[in-house]
Structure 1
Amino acid sequence: MAHNYDNRSGGRHMTFDDDHDNSEYNSEDSFKRKNKDDDRFGLGKRQRFGGQNDDKPRFENWNSEAGRMSNWNSNKNKKWQDAEQFEEYFEDVPRPEKPRKYTISIAVPASILEETCKKDELRTYVVGQLARAANIYSIDEIIVYDDKCWRKKDVTGNDSQNLIEMMRMLLEYQECPQYLRKYLFSFHRFLGKVGVLNALNAPHHLLSKQWCEYREGVVLDRRNKSLSYVDVGLSSEITIDKKLDAGLRVTVKLPPETKDLTKRFGVVVSPDEPREKCGYYWGYTVRVAHSLTEVMTGGRFHKGYDLLIGTSDKGDDIKKTEYPTFSHALVVFGGVEGLEAAIEADDQLEATEPLHLFDFYTNTCPMQQARTIRTEEAVLISLCALQDKLLPKGKN
């Protein structure tokens, strides 16, 4: 059945060629008469396409073949124009001035979670403060150790091990870039209160619109014989020229020319390269030590730590102390009972006094007025006091 649109009515009224009597549909007041109680064709159409205050519907250009083609071509051209103009813009991350070869490590006892914190929410917050302090002062390694000084003397091995594991997991979670956590951390009761953690905003916690030559990523589970796909927090994954196991966290270097490509690629490098070659602070590693002895001997540096510093209110005034140059420094903090109790509780140690174990035994807050300083407070105070005192080798 052929039909034509009557343009005088804005496309709402239709005339039918083979109708014998269509006067009822073509009269000006036909819709007013038939729909005076329900304005479906007037108010309803204006609501959908342009709002109630429009004088005319917005589909009158489609009443002719030329109008339909013009509208279609306009939309098509706009689509391709938008696609051609689309570009991904990045904010360049400032590059440090010089490489950094030295490292600074800290050791913290897990007993502080049992001594001073009663609920998991507070324990999570305290660990988050330790991570924040380490990030602020560019700490490269955090050692979680068992100082054998638990408040409850009958505490079981499982209880102490759970608190050590909780501290380790929270520190690793906090250090991990946000876009990788969904791959590397499944739900665990130790992570139940992570909402109280403050963001680290570390240099390697990059946003999708920030450009840095290095990025942390995780290998995706996509099959390819010679390549691996890696999520590095950009708008799309990148490829690397190695076949690695899915779920592996990697540090990737992105060549400068890949910045303007839609299909980006990179190479896997050592996690130390951003620090050693460019001077970026690239987060910290976490190590667990089951005794104070293991803190000293279990490091990843083949020559060990060449500067050992113990902290205590019974130590020497930091203002009167001068430290030698170093390559790998270690600063050890005690729990509520101090490092003296930790040394006495370690059966493997031959040392009986802190000065027998450490190169320096330092009081980093000689003007202390409170009877005790919490360990998370001592870490922040000590790192602030030491930043102008520690002189790495080769630095003038």
Structure 2
Amino acid sequence: MSWHVFIPDSLLEETSDLKLKAYKVGQIARACAIFGVEHIWIYKAGGRDGRLIKTLLEYVETPQYLRKRIFPIMPELRYAGVMPPLQIPSHKEKTSPRIGEIREGFAFRRGKKIFADIGLDRPALVKGIAEEGRGTFKIISVKPLRVVPAEPPGYWGYKVHWSKKSLAKTLKNADLDVVIATSRRGVDVRDAEVPLEGEVGIVFGSPRKGVFEILEEFKEKYEFDLVLNTIPNQKTRTVRTEEAVLATLAIFNIMRRD
């Protein structure tokens, strides 16, 4: 089972403060990492921060030792330090290399050979076929340091998709088995039978507009498998998107059986 979280590009519309924007995105990244979300989708909802959200989400998901290689200095990352560290399995500390260890790295060409920065004191020679850029590698030799491309051993982080399309079109492109909308109008989660199997999409609205208001604004309709109120009896007038993501994933995490 894989989880896909859908958030609008209008997620940050309530503030113009770049520091606060980074903090809010960091809360969503942290919630998704805690509960093992594999995909975060950013859909078009009339906002202007799609690129910023994508950049911040990708930055905090990248191991610290690779960030300077992948991200140039840019104003969007000025306050990236306020985002909490994810501490996911791909974020390894610098240690002595061990045969069999799998690490995230960045492959680059040096002459006719491919090397990978895997966060150790020296780059590793890549054996086998590898493309330049970010990848996952397994250590097969320590002296000399050599690696081969490898698959992550389990949950390794999330991928970010900035669709630039409306919600209905984004959901169609995602090709999911189950799509669940979160809404105050939905069925009380305590009374629902939630089908958490296969590729599961969980859709969230913006701070000012719910999922159905966003669909209506784009003159769209979508047949959700389930519409859930995951925060019944809320005592605040509104629930922020980052709060809804954390609450919903926490509830679904108890329900999942994989």
TM-score bracket relative to the smaller structure: over 0.9
Structure-to-structure mapping, 1:173-322, within 5 angstroms = 173-209=59-95, 213-224=101-112, 227-242=113-128, 244=130, 246=132, 248-255=133-140, 258=141, 261-269=142-150, 273-274=151-152, 278=153, 280-289=154-163, 290-299=165-174, 304-322=175-193
Equivalent residue number for residue 30 of structure 2: 132
- Which protein has the bigger helix share? 1
The alignment status of 1:344 with 2:216, answered yes or no, reads yes
Equivalent residue number for residue 97 of structure 1: none
Runs of 4+ in 1 over 3 A off after TM superposition: 242-246
Q: Deviations over 1:238-294 (max 9, x none)?
A: 111246564x11111234xx3xx231222113xxx32xxx4x210000001221023
- Which protein has the bigger strand share? 2
Q: Which amino acid aligns with 1:126?
A: K
SS at match of 2:106: strand
> What RMSD, in angstroms, separates the aligned Cα atoms of the two structures?
1.8
SS at match of 1:340: helix
Q: 1:325 to 1:191 in 2, by over 3 A?
A: closer
Q: Which amino acid aligns with 1:119?
A: D
Do 1:109 and 1:145's aligned partners in 2 also have CA atoms closer than 8 Å?
A: yes
Q: Distance between the aligned counterparts of 1:213 and 1:199, measured in 2?
A: 22
Q: 1:194 to 1:324 in 2, by over 3 A?
A: closer
Q: Which amino acid aligns with 1:190?
A: E
Q: Deviations over 1:113-172 (max 9, x none)?
A: 12x222111001100111000111100000011123x5xxxxxxxxx2xx1100000000
SS at match of 2:7: strand
Query: Higher RCO, 1 or 2 (CA under 8 Å, sep at least 6)?
Result: 2
- Which of structures 1 and 2 has the bigger CA Rg? 1
Residue among 195, 201, 204 paired with 1:330: 201
Q: Distance between the aligned counterparts of 1:325 and 1:177, measured in 2?
A: 30
Query: Percent identity among equivalent residues?
Result: 33
Question: TM-score, normalising length from structure 1?
Answer: 0.61
User: Which runs of 5 or more structure 2 residues have no equivalent in the other structure?
Assistant: none
